[in-house]
Structure 1
Amino acid sequence: MAVSRDKRLGLMAVPIAVLAVLPASPGAAQQAGAATTADSASLIDPAAMAAMDKMSAALQTLPSFQVQSDVTSEVVLVTGQKIQFGGTVDVAVHRPDAFKVVSRADTQTREMYYNGKTFTIYAPKLGYYASFDAPSTIGLTLDKARTEHNIEVPLADLFTWGTDQTVRSRVKEAIVVRPERIGDRQCMHYAFRQEKVDWQVWIDQGAQPLPCKLVITSRTDEAMPQYTAVLNWTLNSVPEAASLAFQPPADAKRITMASAATLAKAEGEQ
C-alpha cells in the first residue's frame, strides 16, 4: 500500500537555492541586486500588506477569544495521489497565561493545554498525557513545543500574529484577490507567497477584521498539499484561565514527553 510523504505545513520561510549568473563586476552585482529588490517590491501590493497589518492589530487587541474551525488537510501518497482528511480545531485563549486547543478527527484527537507554567498534551482515545515546564508567555511556549518537542499547535499563528516582526520580510509576493462570502460573512480574499509556502487569508469586512478562512500550501512538495481552516469566532464569551486548565481523568496515564532529538533519532533508525 502506498504511504504518505512528509506534508508538514506552517507559515515559515526556509531559504532555497537560487540559480544566478555570476556578474562580471561589483558594479554589475549592485545593479542586479537593485533590480531584484525593485522586482520584489513590484510583486507586493501595499493594500494586501496593509490589510494584514489591520488584521494583526485586531487579533492583538483581543484579551481572550474562542474560535471553532472546520479543517481539511491533505496527505500525498507516494503515487502522487492526494487524500483529504477533515476535522475540527477548537481554540480558547486567555491572554497572557492560558490556552486550550482541541483537535478532533477520525484518525486522532489531541488536546493541548497551557496554564502559564506547564504545557500538556493529552490523547483522550489512548488515555495518555505528557507535559513539559513552559515559559511564561504563549509565544515562547509555542516555540518550545515546536523546536524542543516537535509539537505543532494547530492554528498557533492566531495566538502570535502581529508579534513576529520578521513576517513582513519573509513575504515575497502579496495580492488582493477579490471580495467573497464565507458563510454569512463578507470577506476580502488575499494571497501571499514566501520562500517555501503559499498562504491565503480571507478577512472579515465587518466591524472586526478577523480571518474567516486560511489556506496554507506547501511548496516543498511538488504535489503542493494544502491545509484549510474555516474560522468561526466567539468574542462575547470570555474564557477564564481556570476553565482552560487540564484536569487528568482518573484513568489517564502520565508518560514522558519525548524530545525532538529523540524523535529524530528514532526516525533515522527506521
Structure 2
Amino acid sequence: MGRNDSSNPAEVYEHYLGPAIADPWTRVLLKYASPRRGESVLDLACGTGSVARQVAPMVGVAGRIVAIDISAAMLAVARALPAPAGAPIEWCEGDARRLELPDGIIDLALCQQGVQFFSDRAAAVAEMRRVLTDGGRAIISVWQALERHPVFEALFDATARHLGVPISAVDLSFSLGDAEELRALLGTTNFSKVEITPRSLEIHLPSPDRFVQLTVLGAATSIPAFTRLDETERFALVQAVAHEIASVVSQYGEGDELIFPMSTHIAVCASD
C-alpha cells in the first residue's frame, strides 16, 4: 500500500466506490422512481453523478436534469466524465437547505445516500417537497444502521478509536439507519404518502488489500474527521486500522474482491 496514490477524494470515490456501490444502488433506486419521458428530475447530493447519468437516457432529450451537490470537487469529477445520452445535465453547486430553484418545477426528486449528511435534514426535505410539481414524487435512499454492515462497523470503530473521536464523528453514512426516524423526518413535510422499503444488495469491491486506504480517502468527500487529515496522518491511520481489522476483512475476501451485503431503506414519497 503506497503513499503516492491519487490524493483526490472525489476521484477515488468515483473510481473505487462508485462502480461497486453507487452504480448498482442507483439501478435499484430508479426502479422505485420509474422515471418517465420528458420529466424534470432533481438529483440532490449528486456526488460524481451516478444517479444523474443513469436517469438521463430514461427521461430522454425532452427531459431536464438538475444535479446539485455542495462539493465543488465532486462536481468537477462529474463534469469531466462523458455525457450520457438523453437529457442534458445541469451540474450545480448548491446547499440542500436552500435550493435555488422555483416552486413546483420538478417532477421527480432523487436523493441517494445524501439526507443523512445534511446539517438540517428537515429543511432539505422541505426543499425537495417545495420544488416538486403537484403529482410529483421524491425517492430517497439511506443506509440502514451501521451494525447491519460489519465490515464498515469494524472500519469505523477502529478509526474512531485511533482518531480519539466518538463513532458519530465518522459513521455519518449510517446515521439515519432507523426506518421510523426516517418516516418521522419525512412526516415533517406535507407529502400525501410515504412508503419505506428495506433493500439489500451483495457488493463486490475490488482490491481487498486497499479497502481501508481507498474507503478512508473516498469518505473524505463528506466526513470532516477524514477531510482534516493531511497525507502523513492519513497514511498512519490507514496503516493502523488496516492492521487492526485485517481479520474482519479476510472473512469477506474472495480472490481479488471483497464481497459483503449492504442494506438501505428506500422511501417513496408522493406530493399529490
Q: When you count helix as a share of all residues, which structure comes out higher? A: 2
Query: Where on the TM-score scale, by shorter chain, does this alignment land: which range?
Result: under 0.3
- TM-score where L is the length of structure 1: 0.28
Query: Which has the greater radius of gyration?
Result: 1
More strand by share: 1
